[in-house]
């Protein structure tokens, strides 16, 4: 009755939240022998690093434009 202090369901939801730790942050694929890092984000290949950087750069440009619009 007074179990409010016990956190319910810590299992699946937590692992889902931290899925990027177990796979590529971009495509969600599993890592091979080598991991690539960009902006402290783990990625599976240089392809994903490239795409991630492009996306990130675009986001920054959007923010930049939004600020001065
Ligand atoms: Zn990937």
Q: How far is the centre of ligand 1, averaged over its atoms, from the C-alpha of 2 (Å)?
A: 45
Q: How far is the centre of ligand 1, averaged over its atoms, from the C-alpha of 48 (Å)?
A: 5
Encode pLDDT of 37-69 as tens digits: 998 999 999 999 999 999 999 999 999 999 886
Answer yes or no: are the C-beta atoms of 49 and 38 closer than 8 Å.
Answer: yes
pTM value is 0.59
Q: How far is the centre of ligand 1, averaged over its atoms, from the C-alpha of 31 (Å)?
A: 8
Encode pLDDT of 7-26 as tens digits: 455 444 444 444 446 799 99
Where in the chain does DSSP place strands (E)? 36-38, 41-43
Q: How far is the centre of ligand 1, averaged over its atoms, from the C-alpha of 52 (Å)?
A: 9
Q: How far is the centre of ligand 1, averaged over its atoms, from the C-alpha of 50 (Å)?
A: 10
């Amino acid at each position: 009755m007074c179990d409010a202090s016990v956190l319910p369901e810590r299992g699946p939801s937590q692992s889902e939240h931290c899925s990027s730790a177990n796979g590529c942050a971009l495509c969600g694929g599993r890592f091979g022998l080598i991991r690539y890092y960009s902006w402290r984000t783990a990625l599976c290949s240089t392809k994903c690093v490239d795409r991630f950087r492009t996306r990130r750069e675009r986001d920054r440009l959007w923010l930049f434009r939004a600020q001065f619009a």
